[in-house]
Amino acid sequence: MKLLRLGITGIFAFGTFFYAGAQIKLNKKALESGSKAVKAVTLSDSEVIAYTKEYIQWMDENNPVAPPEDVLAQRLEKLTAGLNSYDGLDLNFKVYLVRDINAFACADGSVRVCAGLMDNMSDEEVLGVIGHEIGHVKNTDSKDAFRTALLTSALKDGVSSQGGAAATLSDSQLGDLSEAVANSAFSRKQESKADEYGYKFLKDNDVNPWYMAMAFEKLLATSGDNTEKKKGAQLFSSHPDTEKRIKASAQKAEKDGFKRPE
């Protein structure tokens, strides 16, 4: 996933609620910190989760989170009803009122969906994307990527846990971490497995899994020649095999006897 620095570019309307046409904010205060070599640091899973919680708290505090009365927040709450405990995971969901056509999930089960994505997709397509992101958590992709980001950014000065307790990250270190997370990418194999999880997620929740392929189609369309669209379509556009993934999901749905929705 690639998250972009906050930048007000206009006003977009959804229903009777308005949100600034911003992009997800990343703190870049600490980019002058130098390039010290990464020291050998061992992080347990529990420590990675502790840092993840600190990171997502910082993200929620520094990005416009939709309040409960917002139409998008209410829509997401309805879509994810009953999913806070799913497949052995404790999940929580929020909407960021930013124009990015994006969504991401963290190792602690925090799932964040951007307004730009919700504006461009149907409920079923949004659920497909959410299922894909949950797949990254279930497959430990999110945790592994976050651990790497910690060791190459926030902890690059050798800050690590001592005596079994994770050290608190400074605002400066959180800035480095957000930059590293934004620049990370999952492998094709990881993406393929997350696609499969998202497909099954839709089926298990009584949603036509064709919507998985249809969500990919919309993401591919928004990563076209339009520069403004390119800025928002971050979720899958960096993967050159997106068309193959669309075809694979569509063929699987057809094989399973599902018809493409009108």
91-117 pLDDT tens trace: 999 999 999 889 999 999 999 999 999
Give 240's pLDDT tier (boundaries 50, 70, 90). Answer: low
When mean pLDDT is compared across 83-87, 164-168, 228-232, the lowest value belongs to 228-232
Angle, CA of 95, 238 and 206, to the nearest 5°? 50
250 in Cβ contact with 210 (< 8 Å): yes
Please give the average per-residue pLDDT across 50-66, as a whole number: 93
pLDDT at 24: 57
Positions marked active-site: 133
Q: Which two tokens stand for residue 212?
A: 């998985």
89 phi and psi angles, rounded to 5 deg: -110, 145
Taking the C-alpha atoms of residue 139 and residue 235, their distance in angstroms, rounded to an integer, is: 18
In the predicted structure, residue 4 carries a pLDDT above the cut 60: no
Give 236's pLDDT tier (boundaries 50, 70, 90). Answer: low
pLDDT at 163: 43
When mean pLDDT is compared across 66-75, 142-151, 253-262, the lowest value belongs to 142-151
In the predicted structure, residue 40 carries a pLDDT above the cut 50: no
Please give the average per-residue pLDDT across 158-163, as a whole number: 49
Taking the C-alpha atoms of residue 101 and residue 136, their distance in angstroms, rounded to an integer, is: 18
156 phi and psi angles, rounded to 5 deg: -70, -20
In the predicted structure, residue 178 carries a pLDDT above the cut 70: yes
User: Which range is most confident: 108-117, 155-164, 185-194, 221-230?
Assistant: 108-117
Give 53's pLDDT tier (boundaries 50, 70, 90). Answer: very high
Taking the C-alpha atoms of residue 67 and residue 23, their distance in angstroms, rounded to an integer, is: 17
pLDDT at 253: 96
Give residue-wise pLDDT tens across range 112-146. Answer: 999 999 999 999 999 999 999 999 999 999 999 99
Taking the C-alpha atoms of residue 86 and residue 69, their distance in angstroms, rounded to an integer, is: 25
State the average pLDDT for the chain. 78
Domains of the chain: 11-186 (3.30.2010.10)
When mean pLDDT is compared across 92-106, 159-173, 185-199, 215-229, the lowest value belongs to 159-173
Write the secondary structure of the chain as one string of H (helix), E (strand) and C (coil). Answer: CCCCCCCCCCEEEECCEEEECCCCCCCCCCCCCCCCCCCCCCCCHHHHHHHHHHHHHHHHHCCCECCCCCHHHHHHHHHCCCCCEECCEECEEEEECCCCECEEECCCCEEEEEHHHHHHCCHHHHHHHHHHHHHHHHCCHHHHHHHHHHHHHHCCCCCCCECCECCCCCHHHHHHHHHHHHCCCCCHHHHHHHHHHHHHHHHHCCCCCHHHHHHHHHHHHCCCCCHHHHHHECCCCCCCCHHHHHHHHHHHHHHCCCCCCC
Half-sphere exposure of 148 (CA within 13 A, CB side): 13
Taking the C-alpha atoms of residue 128 and residue 185, their distance in angstroms, rounded to an integer, is: 19
pLDDT at 111: 97
In the predicted structure, residue 223 carries a pLDDT above the cut 90: no
Higher pLDDT pick, 19 / 9: 19
In the predicted structure, residue 234 carries a pLDDT above the cut 50: no
Give 10's pLDDT tier (boundaries 50, 70, 90). Answer: very low
